[in-house]
Chains A and B, each alone.
Chain A
Amino acid sequence: QKEVEQDPGPLSVPEGAIVSLNCTYSNSAFQYFMWYRQYSRKGPELLMYTYSSGNKEDGRFTAQVDKSSKYISLFIRDSQPSDSATYLCAMKISGNEKLTFGTGTRLTIIP
């Protein structure tokens, strides 16, 4: 079993819809949680970085962490065609710089 599980999709939604992306993890030592966005043939870029359980909002993006359930989510409101990309969750243990990534979910926003 992988330490981080993520549905690879693909996921297609109409423009303007709310998108929900999720990851589960098995290692309770993970304390830092990130979402990266990766456009085709590009490197990943950081979208959201959270530490504690709860919600963190940044514009149209909300990251949610539930450490008791070992479950993290990324919500995208008012989705745009420019949001079409692969979204990778990533997490790490405190004091360890190694990031463990999920497989990524490929998202397409249909105009």
Chain B
Amino acid sequence: EAGVVQSPRYKIIEKKQPVAFWCNPISGHNTLYWYLQNLGQGPELLIRYENEEAVDDSQLPKDRFSAERLKGVDSTLKIQPAELGDSAVYLCASSSRLNTGELFFGEGSRLTVL
């Protein structure tokens, strides 16, 4: 079974540029999460989707961050414009109610803003 796939793995951009991250969850997982992980910190939830509906986006900085999950499968997280402080790892995870809430994480997209 394929795991959660994220791309790109690494991205270097200059501040004020836009950037987008893509996530393909495990087949059949209806819940998808985007987490932010700063260096030396634990992941922090940005947004959670149940199918195509964003059910928890309270921690998403909506002035510059946006996300979508079309057709309830793949998801894209966008930052526009990027700031220096956005340098971090963006983790995508998915889960199924059948897994008692276990989250399966992708390898992450590491963003460096110069």
What is A's interface to B at a CB cutoff of 8 Å?
Answer: 4, 6, 8, 32, 41-46, 49, 88, 90, 92, 97-99, 101-104
> Residue of A at shortest CB range from B42?
A101
Which residues does B use to contact A, with CB under 8 Å? Answer: 4, 31, 40-45, 48, 56, 91, 93, 95, 100-108, 110
Minimum Cβ distance to chain B for residue A9 (Å)? 10
Partner of B43, one of A44, A46, A97: A44
User: How far is it, in angstroms, between the C-alpha of A97 and the C-alpha of B110 when the chains are bound?
Assistant: 25
Q: Kindly list 11 other residue pairs between chains A and B, CB separation below 8 angstroms, not including A4-B42, A6-B42, A43-B4.
A: A41-B107, A43-B106, A46-B103, A88-B42, A90-B42, A97-B31, A97-B48, A97-B56, A97-B101, A98-B45, A98-B56
Q: Could you say which residues of chain A place their CB within 8 Å of the CB of B95?
A: 97
Q: Which residues of B contact A92 (CB under 8 A)?
A: 101
CB neighbours of B107 from chain A (8 A): 41-43
- B residues near A103, Cβ cutoff 8 Å: 40-42
Q: Is the beta-carbon distance between B101 and A32 smaller than 8 angstroms? A: yes
A-B contact pairs, 18 of them (CB 8 A): A32-B101, A42-B107, A43-B106, A43-B107, A44-B91, A44-B103, A44-B105, A46-B102, A49-B100, A88-B42, A97-B95, A97-B101, A98-B45, A98-B48, A99-B103, A102-B42, A103-B41, A103-B42
Q: Which of A8, A41, A45, A104 contacts B105 (CB 8 A)?
A: A45
Complex: chain A residue closest to B100, CB-CB: A49
